[in-house]
């Protein structure tokens, strides 16, 4: 009802606009479809959450379809349409991660605008045309990242190994964003591992954290997933990634084998006694991965049988399910922003602030999503270390 009169909206327009947005599963939208009507205030609110100008709902259908096609084309400049899956049934639609992708692409553009020292990235496409073995690919990527074969293995903890890998990636202009509830532009409603976003200078890796439904402890899983995402950047693959880390039948093989050689080299694996579940757990701690990932790698190398692997994976799943649930604490705003942005992006934008390329207000808006005020920028500097 507008000014006492019913105003018609083409149902195709209504559906196409919202189905291609982050509100497609929300109750007000679904209820409007069932009733074939929507209150104007609800339409405006849904439009705001979906980042759609609400007058577009009153446009001609052909015009709306053209607008959707333009948006999708721009959005996917840095992202392949396909989901890159490692033995997972999860399907990731663009709308599931749309606002995160848009935000990270915006950050890439912001950095390219304000940082004249950026060079063409040497990691992007490094392994795209390789015809060597997985071990040779692993060696090439480790060398490009400035990592020795045993650097991650020698880390004190799995968490520290993850931090080291992030540091080396960002030192090579591969930006790394970690999911932080409350500091991302949208909630992640699907289980997926992460995504890679294309850029010839500052590609972004987004690492999704939290419960992936495959019964694995977080730190070791995150290290494996981040390594996989780094391999994808080197292979020139930019897409959402779903990775089932406890399946004994993993594919596709090439990327997984390169990750395996980086984290669990075949020569080192063959030197170990992997007869019992405890042996496998000990080896997993040595390589800073989850026991499940170690089991899958051992089976792939035929160091354990498929029957033994399935038995071990079931036992590990039961052990994990019996653990008391952990409660994630909400970080301070400066820490949440740093984790989601990634340190490298944040530090380079601080430099842009210091030389006057952005104002404190613009910095808080564009870099910190208005989560902090200008007087808190000093605290943000300290959080960067």
Range of weakest confidence among 27-36, 125-134, 297-306: 125-134
Please say if the pLDDT value at position 246 is more than 60: no
Between residues 56 and 321, which one has the greater pLDDT?
A: 56
Segment 186-221, tens digit of pLDDT: 887 777 888 999 999 999 999 998 655 545 667 788
Tell which residue, 162, 222, 169, has the closest CA to residue 193. Answer: 222
The residue-averaged pLDDT of 328-342 equals 91
Segment 31-78, tens digit of pLDDT: 999 999 999 999 999 998 888 999 999 999 999 999 888 877 766 665
Distance (Å, whole) CA 241 – CA 72: 19
Residues with Cβ within 8 Å of residue 219, at least 6 apart in sequence:
157, 158, 159, 162, 288
Measure Cα distances from 365 to 115, 202, 360, 368 in Å.
18, 21, 9, 6
Q: pTM, whole model, 2 decimals?
A: 0.82
Range of weakest confidence among 81-85, 137-141, 239-243, 354-358: 81-85
Percent of the chain with pLDDT over 90: 64
pLDDT band at 106 (very low <50, low <70, confident <90, very high): confident
Mean pLDDT of the chain: 88
Q: pLDDT value at position 249?
A: 47
Determine contact, residues 245/216, Cβ cutoff 8 Å: yes
Tell which residue, 231, 235, 240, 185, has the closest CA to residue 208. Answer: 240
Please say if the pLDDT value at position 83 is more than 80: no
The residue-averaged pLDDT of 334-349 equals 96
């Amino acid at each position: 009802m507008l000014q006492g009169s019913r105003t018609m909206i083409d149902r195709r327009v209504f559906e196409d606009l919202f189905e291609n947005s982050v509100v497609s599963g929300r109750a007000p939208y679904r209820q409007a479809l069932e009733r074939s009507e929507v209150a104007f205030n609800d339409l405006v609110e849904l439009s705001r959450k979906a980042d759609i100008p609400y007058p577009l709902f009153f446009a001609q259908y052909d015009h709306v379809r053209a607008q959707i096609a333009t948006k999708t084309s721009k959005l996917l400049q840095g992202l392949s349409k396909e989901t890159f899956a490692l033995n997972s049934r999860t399907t990731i639609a663009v709308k599931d991660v749309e606002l995160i992708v848009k935000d990270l692409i915006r950050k890439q553009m912001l950095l390219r605008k304000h940082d004249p020292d950026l060079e063409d990235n040497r990691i992007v496409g490094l392994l795209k045309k390789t015809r060597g073995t997985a071990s040779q690919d692993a060696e090439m990527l480790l060398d490009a990242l400035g990592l020795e074969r045993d650097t991650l293995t020698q880390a004190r903890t799995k968490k520290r190994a993850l931090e080291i890998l992030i540091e080396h990636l960002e030192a090579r202009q591969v930006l790394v964003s970690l999911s932080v509830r409350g500091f991302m532009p949208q909630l992640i409603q699907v289980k997926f591992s992460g995504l890679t976003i294309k850029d010839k200078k500052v590609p972004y890796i987004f690492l999704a954290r939290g419960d992936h439904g495959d019964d694995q402890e977080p730190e070791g899983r995150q290290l494996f997933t981040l390594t996989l995402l780094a391999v994808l950047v080197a292979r020139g693959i930019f897409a959402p990634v779903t990775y089932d880390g406890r399946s004994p039948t993993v594919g596709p093989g090439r990327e997984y084998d390169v990750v395996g050689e980086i984290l669990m080299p075949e020569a080192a694996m063959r030197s170990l006694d992997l007869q019992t579940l405890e042996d496998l757990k000990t080896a997993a701690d040595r390589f800073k991965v989850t026991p499940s990932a170690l089991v899958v790698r051992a089976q792939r190398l035929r160091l354990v049988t498929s029957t033994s692997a399935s038995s071990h994976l079931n036992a590990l799943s039961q052990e994990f399910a019996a653990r008391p649930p952990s409660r994630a604490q909400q970080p301070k705003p400066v820490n949440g922003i740093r984790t989601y942005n990634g340190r490298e992006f944040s530090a380079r934008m601080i430099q842009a602030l210091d030389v006057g390329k952005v104002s404190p207000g613009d910095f808080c808006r564009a870099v910190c999503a208005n989560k902090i005020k200008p007087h808190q920028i000093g605290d943000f500097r300290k959080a960067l270390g």
